[in-house]
Structure 1
Amino acid sequence: MAVLLSDHLHYDWKAPHGPDNDRLVFSKGHAAPLLYAMFKAAGAIADEELLTLRKRGSRLEGHPTPGLPWVDVATGSLGQGIPAAVGMALAARLLDLDLRCWVLLGDSEMAEGSVYEAFELAGFYRLSSIIAIVDMNRLGQRGPTMAQWDGEPYAARARAFGWNAQILDGHDREAIHRAYQEAEASSRPTCLVARTRKGAGVSFLEDKEGWHGKALSADEAKRALAELGDPAGDLVVETRRPRQASAPRTPSAGAFTPPRYEVGTKVATREAFGDALRALGAARGDVVVLDGEVSNSTFSERFLKADAARFFEIYIAEQQLVSAAVGMQVLGLRPFAATFAAFFSRAYDQVRMAAISRAHLGLVGSHAGVSIGEDGPSQMALEDLAMMRAVHGSTVLYPSCATTAAELTRQMASRDGITYLRTTREKTPVLYGSEERFAIGGSKVLRQSPRDVAAVLAAGVTLHEALRAHALLEGEGLAVRVVDLYSVKPIDAVTVEACARECGGQLVVVEDHWPQGGLGDAVCEVFAGRPSPPSVARLGVRDMPGSGTPAQLLDAAGISAEHIAAAVRRIGRGGTGPGGG
């Protein structure tokens, strides 16, 4: 890192968000003290701040986060630095930026599958701007790594994915310098496997187990400095400026022309997402789309057909999909990453880390719930609302109609944090005209009367079942309110409270999702701590589904119109629905 800082990293430390800066990612985030020491050597921080390491309120946390302006992405969950660098390199290529992405990895994290998703994709796209440095010091947290000091397995894996790779002495400054020069001149990504000794130069630390994450005592520090030779004076490194000084890039902007759908026609919300995405691309030059090789199902292929340069195929590698989106937004782009909703569970750690990275991106999951039908439970996202609601600062949206889906997609491009849009496979009736607006945090009351005995709160496919139930009950003389809770987080607490107040304290929540963590929990949280909460009957998927038609599976799960109507009848007769309380 000393050689990199003094001779190869091109960076304006006074303008850390400058587009032409090289990117430096410490994938081995537990090496944060080394990163912070580099910041100190570059003159970015002072001794006083360096000594606040890991203390409450300090920017120098135990693992790096973008609370420091020189940190692009949070690390510490291993295996995510190199996939984020892939996104940065793809963005740099799109924006024609002459920069390099330097990534420091630990040898223990080379066991992470996400590392090899990144190696494969970087090799496929020949991302020569990526230079990965593996700190092969033989020791992991609890003992030796699998390969220990045998660097050939690491190098061979990199070469198999189309990378340049070499093994070198990580303590030989001239060898490191030459390796960096060769990597900078390469037309392919490079992996440098640096053989090092943990604690080198200190007799009681060098290549010794049991020191992972441990600090030296004051006496041990004195002994270590005596062996190393305490440097005289202040250590400041003269660093290199960016290779080019580009004018700030202003993405092209135009008017968003929303797709229009005739009320009553049937259009899948996933299709409306594709239409809106294409319209967004025409209006905003910063929007990019990443696909998990399902663009013909998510309908993101409509963006591809309109602007292939801003469409990135990540293939079946969902961890890389999310990490690449995080990396791309570092350089000012607004990514949408789309796949089947169920498959985001594979990348949940990346989503969680994206929030810690303070990333702004849109995630879109299609084929949610039992309503997808015959494909069976492996394809049915039944956990995704709970999963995404739990992410710090997230927004979770579940449109019921094409008009809603298109408008919410437009808003996602300007929304801070992680925004998740859940779309439906089946075509559903268009409920709203193009003049309707859908505020995030809002809802729509579709049916109501002064005689409502209960309010049915739903979103997505179950809203249409609720409307069918309303028609059944109306013929029986039972009035019920129906509310479209398209914004799951933040939820429209004002409307939910009004429903409880005006409908006799009787709510029925119906969702194509497991009962835990989804729409029902979101509604109940509105009344948390209240002395007299309403009765909430919760209809959700409670048994493991199988294959069948959408109608069969909705009915088997107890979330069809007939089951909603039955729950309301019980309320009308003075009983409670399933899960009430």
Structure 2
Amino acid sequence: MTDINSLKRKAIDIRKSLIEMIYEAGTGHTGSSLSNTDILVALYYGVMNVDPNNPNWEDRDRYIQSKGHAVESYWAVLADKGFFPKEELKTFSKYNSRLIGHPNNKVPGVEMNTGALGHGLSVSVGMALAAKMDNKAYRVFTLMGDGELAEGSVWEAAMSASQYKLDNLIGIIDRNRLQISGTTDDVMSNEPLDKKWESFGWHVVQVDGNDVGELVKVFNEAPQISGKPTIILANTVKGKGISIAENVASWHHHVPTKEEYEKAMQELSEQLEVLA
């Protein structure tokens, strides 16, 4: 059984790691990475069947981070899992580093280069369909941003997944309701989001996207309806875990000052103490 308290502690450790990476590199998508941290921790430590010692294992579960700009939490998790040495995190966004500002499939554990939004779900549909054709049991998970849903290719992929009854495909929306230029409602409203996905033939589940325990439960129960892909509407807080960053659109691509960095690390350390 998954120890939820240890997952909560792990999520805080990953947040500390990603803040340090961004601060030292002087660049990064801070708010987005903080909001999706719990989702990644739930998947990699409580749900997915992967092997860091054999990253190309044929029967592994697949994960595609379609919202590729929020890569810092992804790098921190992959390093912590042992896909590459943690020491390499210090090279993030430095010259000749393979840990660039978007997922890079030269890094073990990364299935696809992403960054141009709207492509991840289409590739995931292909992977899930291949599993069906090859009689493989692996599942395919793809994480999208709610702002990303303005891309028409997302909805083409959604139709395809339903058409081919891909119940081995689990889409996840990091629904923090903020994007680089404001709220999703103001920029390009996608409500009612649940009804839209249902109309495209998907099984819809809503969950607190910053509750690792609930996330693990929901991921492990999917698919709840045979013959349908599942979409997880993960309601998150942008900048989660750091008070000065939470629900602040300007932290989308904000690099903390020295004072902000110190405050963030102190807050995260205090959160760890509470869970001790």
Instruction: Please give the TM-score of this superposition, normalised by the length of structure 2.
Output: 0.79
Contact 1:152/1:167 (<8 A) preserved: no
Aligned residue in 2 for 1:72: 111
Aligned residue in 2 for 1:203: 243
What letter is aligned with 2:199?
A
Structure 1 residues 97 and 24: alpha-carbon distance in aligned structure 2, compared to 1, 3 A threshold: same
What letter is aligned with 1:84?
V
Q: Which SS does the other structure have where 2:52 is aligned?
A: coil
Aligned residue in 2 for 1:60: 99
Cα deviation code 1:38-79 (max 9, x no counterpart): 102212222320111111211111111211131111100000
Work out the CA distance in 2 between the residues paired with 1:78 and 1:195. 20
* TM alignment of 1:150-299, pairs within 5 A: 153-187=192-226, 188-229=228-269
Query: Which of 85, 97, 102 is 2:141 aligned to?
Result: 102
Structure 1 residues 133 and 55: alpha-carbon distance in aligned structure 2, compared to 1, 3 A threshold: same
Q: Which SS does the other structure have where 2:60 is aligned?
A: coil
Cα deviation code 1:307-336 (max 9, x no counterpart): xxxxxxxxxxxxxxxxxxxxxxxxxxxxxx
Contact 2:62/2:140 (<8 A) preserved: yes
Structure 1 residues 147 and 122: alpha-carbon distance in aligned structure 2, compared to 1, 3 A threshold: farther
Cα deviation code 1:276-331 (max 9, x no counterpart): xxxxxxxxxxxxxxxxxxxxxxxxxxxxxxxxxxxxxxxxxxxxxxxxxxxxxxxx
* TM alignment of 1:40-55, pairs within 5 A: 40-55=79-94
Bigger Cα Rg: 1
Query: Which of 118, 121, 126 is 1:87 aligned to?
Result: 126
- Runs of at least 5 residues in structure 2 that lack an aligned partner in the other structure: 1-39
What letter is aligned with 1:189?
P
Q: Which SS does the other structure have where 2:171 is aligned?
A: strand
Work out the CA distance in 2 between the residues paired with 1:209 and 1:194. 18
Work out the CA distance in 2 between the residues paired with 1:101 and 1:66. 17
Q: CA deviation at 1:230?
A: 6.3
Structure 1 residues 6 and 221: alpha-carbon distance in aligned structure 2, compared to 1, 3 A threshold: same
Matched, 1:27 2:62: no
Instruction: Please give the TM-score of this superposition, normalised by the length of structure 1.
Output: 0.38
State the identity as a percent.
38
Contact 1:64/1:75 (<8 A) preserved: yes
Instruction: Indicate the structure whose relative CO is greater, using CA pairs within 8 Å and at least 6 residues apart.
Output: 2
Contact 1:83/1:118 (<8 A) preserved: yes
- Runs of at least 5 residues in structure 1 that lack an aligned partner in the other structure: 233-581
Aligned residue in 2 for 1:127: 166
Structure 1 residues 186 and 10: alpha-carbon distance in aligned structure 2, compared to 1, 3 A threshold: farther
Task: Please provide the CA RMSD for this pair.
Answer: 1.9
Higher helix residue share: 2
Cα deviation code 1:187-231 (max 9, x no counterpart): 221101111111122121110121222222333221001112268
Structure 1 residues 203 and 115: alpha-carbon distance in aligned structure 2, compared to 1, 3 A threshold: same
Matched, 1:14 2:53: yes
Work out the CA distance in 1 between the residues paired with 2:150 and 2:190. 13
Moved runs in structure 1, 4+ residues, more than 3 A?
A: none
Contact 2:83/2:108 (<8 A) preserved: no
